[in-house]
Amino acid sequence: MVSNIVNRTAVEVLKLLQEGTVSLPEVYAACTKRMQQVKDLNAFITTTNHEKGQDISQGSLAGLPFGVKDNYCTKGEKTTCASNMLKQFVPSYNATVVEKLCAAGGTIMGKTNMDEFAMGSGSVDSAFGAVKSPWKYDFGKSEDENDWYITGGSSGGSAVAVATGSCFFALGSDTGGSVRSPAALCGTVGLKPTYGALSRHGLISLANAMDTPGIFTRSVDDAALFFNIMSGHDPLDSTSAQHTTPNVKLAEVEKVKDLVIGIPKEYHGPQLSPEILDAWDWMAGKFSDAGAKVVSVSLPNTMHSIQCYYILSSGDVASNMARYDGIEFGHRGSGSSFSEMLADGRTAGFGNTVKQRILAGNYFLLKQNYTKYYEQALKIRRLIVNDFRAVFAGNSTGGSGVDLLLTPVSISTAARYSDFIQANNRSRCAEHDIYTQPANMSGVPGISVPIKISKEGLPVSLQLMADNFNEQTLLRAAKFIEQEVAFPGLQLDFTS
């Protein structure tokens, strides 16, 4: 038996399986054991207890176990969105990306915990309790004794599942940074592809025009593998890209000589922690050393992005949550009239954050406010898109001609839960999504790559962004970073 299976990447395990060095049941046993060991972290809402590893080794993924954020519909498996509203909801169909992964031979290990309906940046606002970061977690102590760190959110469960080795990759969803942020805080690779590259069909909507299926992996090669399996037009999602996205192909060793790396000056904020600023600076130097051209660029409308993001996403939330009336599915309230039943059910079914956003969204959408807020936000969103178009456009067309943007993912490393809950959800998001949500506003792909471990002992990560549908260049450069930094990853020791 090969040791440390749970510390390996998906590509490595697939190779071991192919060689016969390790068997599928051994892989499941290792992952299941790890899931048990880290149970206190609360990464999974539902674990699927099918007999695994017997005969399902078909396809390119050969039965490889993966985690699915609990806002993707899974046929016959509870899909709760971490909400009391959907506590008993069992879909009759698979989300397209889940379907594609299963068709390629992936096996679902379980449904991962998250902020309710993906609204949050800490994975602490879940009807099933908060997700805890494995970093610096003392598994010897009880939950209460631990002054644990947050995972980032909203896809915290998926990040933990991959970081700890409970599975080899996991689906997340990224509307304002919900994949990249927890990936950064938990030290995994987190890819948010171009809007439209992956189908949203079966992903329960938060903010439709920004929701992007994303992937947590332990390596950039893994990210490329799963991106290739999942990308492509889906007739069931009218916003999925019509053209076929070419497969990403990565070399054994990636070189970046031909690339122009942009450093957006608006991303230098006073709140940015010195350690992340150092890492950013250091990485820019590495690119430069490797022959890439590193230039300073400007995305002038960035400062308005977070406010607009808040207005637009709240509007979508208010609208998307309107279907939760408890009639066709979901928690049903009681009362003597339809209105009473509705009010009762929604009061009990939704958590406070969801309710706040519904109220805010409805406020922005009121007839007297629409042009004042929502329409303005749409206009500024257009300006933000134009900012990105301009930096990626070639010099000949008046653009900056950069291939990639290198930025921080978050202003700091993970906070302790006790500190994190001092602020409310809304201001926490505003703080944490500051570097990530512009990619959602503009639709460009972004990836979070771990760089090093901070003095405090927590992962420090950076973000790359590329032009729409240029995942190829994005992942090439991400692989370059990965090879430069040789991030050690999370080392959990349960032997004692």
Partner 1 sequence: MLTRIRCCTRAAHRYLSSTQADTFDEWKKYADESNLSPMIGLEIHAQINSTAKLFSGSENKFMAPTNSLVSNYDASVPGTLPVLNKRCVEAAVYTALALNCKLNMQSQFDRKHYFYADTPQGYQITQQRCPIAVNGTFSFPLSSGKKVKTIHIQQIQLEQDSGKSLHDDETNHTYIDLNRANVGLLEIVTSPGLTGAEDTCAFVKELQMTLQLLGACDGKMQEGQLRVDLNLSMSGKDEKPGTRAEVKNISGISHLKDVIEYEIKRQVQILNDGGTVEQETRAYDSVKKVTTSMRDKEEAQDYRFMPEPNLPPLTLYNDETAPKNTDRNFINVDELKRKMPIIPGRLREILMQRLGLQYKQAEFLLEKQLASFYRDVLYCAPDLSPTLVYNWMRIKLVALQHTSGFTASESGVTAQELADLLTMEQNHLINQSQSKEAFELALTDVRSPVQIVKDNDWIGIIDMDVIRGFCDNAIAQLTDENPDFLKNLNQETPHTVIVRQIVGLVLKLSQGKAKRKLVTPVVISILKNLDSE
Find the binding residues for partner 1 in span 1-30 (CB under 8 A): none
Q: How far is the CB of 362 from partner 1 (least distance, A)?
A: 6
Instruction: Indicate the residue among 159 and 207 with the shorter CB distance to partner 1.
Output: 207
Q: Which stretch binds partner 1 (CB under 8 A): 107-115, 207-215, 265-273, 429-437?
A: 207-215
User: How far is the C-alpha of 491 from the C-alpha of 313, rounded, in Å?
Assistant: 37
Select the residue interacting with partner 1 from 3, 92, 142, 371 (CB under 8 A).
92
Select the residue interacting with partner 1 from 236, 272, 421, 453 (CB under 8 A).
236
Q: How far is the CB of 467 from partner 1 (least distance, A)?
A: 20
Instruction: Indicate the residue among 368 and 491 with the shorter CB distance to partner 1.
Output: 368
Instruction: Indicate the residue among 234 and 467 with the shorter CB distance to partner 1.
Output: 234
| Three-state secondary structure string covering the chain | CCCCHHHCCHHHHHHHHHHCCCCHHHHHHHHHHHHHHCHHHCCEEEECCCCCCCCCCCCCCCCCEEEEECCECECCECCCCCCHHHCCCCCCCCCHHHHHHHHCCCEEEEEECCCHHHCCCCCCCCCCCCCCCCCCCCCCCCCCCCCCECCCCCCHHHHHHHHHCCCCEEEEEECCCCCHHHHHHHCCEEEECCCCCCCCCCECCCCCCCCEEEEEECCHHHHHHHHHHHCCCCCCCCCCCCCCCCCCCCCCCCCCCCCEEEEEHHHCCCCCCHHHHHHHHHHHHHHHHCCCEEEEECCCCHHHHHHHHHHHHHHHHHHHHHHCCCCCCCCCCCCCCHHHHHHHHHHHHCCHHHHHHHHHHHHHHCHHHHCCCHHHHHHHHHHHHHHHHHHHCCHHHCCCCCCEEEEECCCCCCCEHHHHCCCCHHHHHHHHCCCCHHHHHHCCCEEEEEEEECCCCCEEEEEEEECCCCHHHHHHHHHHHHHHHCCCCCCCCCCC
Q: Does 111 bind partner 1 (CB under 8 A)?
A: no
Select the residue interacting with partner 1 from 374, 388, 480, 487 (CB under 8 A).
374
User: How far is the C-alpha of 470 from the C-alpha of 310, rounded, in Å?
Assistant: 27
Q: How far is the CB of 33 from partner 1 (least distance, A)?
A: 32
Instruction: Indicate the residue among 164 and 442 with the shorter CB distance to partner 1.
Output: 442
Select the residue interacting with partner 1 from 124, 207, 250, 311 (CB under 8 A).
207
**Using CA of residue 70, residue 76, residue 78, residue 79, what is the dihedral sign?**
positive
Instruction: Indicate the residue among 443 and 459 with the shorter CB distance to partner 1.
Output: 443
Q: Does 238 bind partner 1 (CB under 8 A)?
A: yes
Q: How far is the CB of 444 from partner 1 (least distance, A)?
A: 18
Find the binding residues for partner 1 in span 314-373 (CB under 8 A): 315-316, 318-319, 321-325, 327-329, 336, 338-339, 342, 362, 365-367, 370
Q: Does 205 bind partner 1 (CB under 8 A)?
A: yes
Find the binding residues for partner 1 in span 25-64 (CB under 8 A): none
Q: How far is the CB of 89 from partner 1 (least distance, A)?
A: 7
Q: Are 137 and 42 in contact (CB under 8 A)?
A: no
Q: Are 159 and 69 in contact (CB under 8 A)?
A: no
User: How far is the C-alpha of 162 from the C-alpha of 223, rounded, in Å?
Assistant: 12
Instruction: Indicate the residue among 369 and 472 with the shorter CB distance to partner 1.
Output: 369
Q: How far is the CB of 168 from partner 1 (least distance, A)?
A: 24
Instruction: Indicate the residue among 96 and 146 with the shorter CB distance to partner 1.
Output: 96
Q: Does 220 bind partner 1 (CB under 8 A)?
A: no
Q: How far is the CB of 296 from partner 1 (least distance, A)?
A: 34
User: How far is the C-alpha of 368 from the C-alpha of 377, rounded, in Å?
Assistant: 15
Instruction: Indicate the residue among 67 and 450 with the shorter CB distance to partner 1.
Output: 67
So which residues are the catalytic ones? 69, 154, 178
195, HSE (Cβ side, Cα atoms, 13 Å): 20
Select the residue interacting with partner 1 from 8, 132, 200, 218 (CB under 8 A).
200
User: How far is the C-alpha of 77 from the C-alpha of 74, rounded, in Å?
Assistant: 5
Size of the residue set binding partner 1 (CB under 8 A)? 47
Q: How far is the CB of 369 from partner 1 (least distance, A)?
A: 9
Q: How far is the CB of 453 from partner 1 (least distance, A)?
A: 38
Encoded one letter per residue, x for contact with partner 1 by CB under 8 A and - for no contact, window 375-414 reads ---x------------------------------------
Instruction: Indicate the residue among 195 and 487 with the shorter CB distance to partner 1.
Output: 195
Q: Which stretch binds partner 1 (CB under 8 A): 2-10, 86-94, 129-137, 430-438?
A: 86-94
List of residues contacting partner 1 (CB under 8 A): 72-73, 79, 81, 86, 89, 91-93, 95, 200-205, 207-209, 235-239, 315-316, 318-319, 321-325, 327-329, 336, 338-339, 342, 362, 365-367, 370, 374, 378
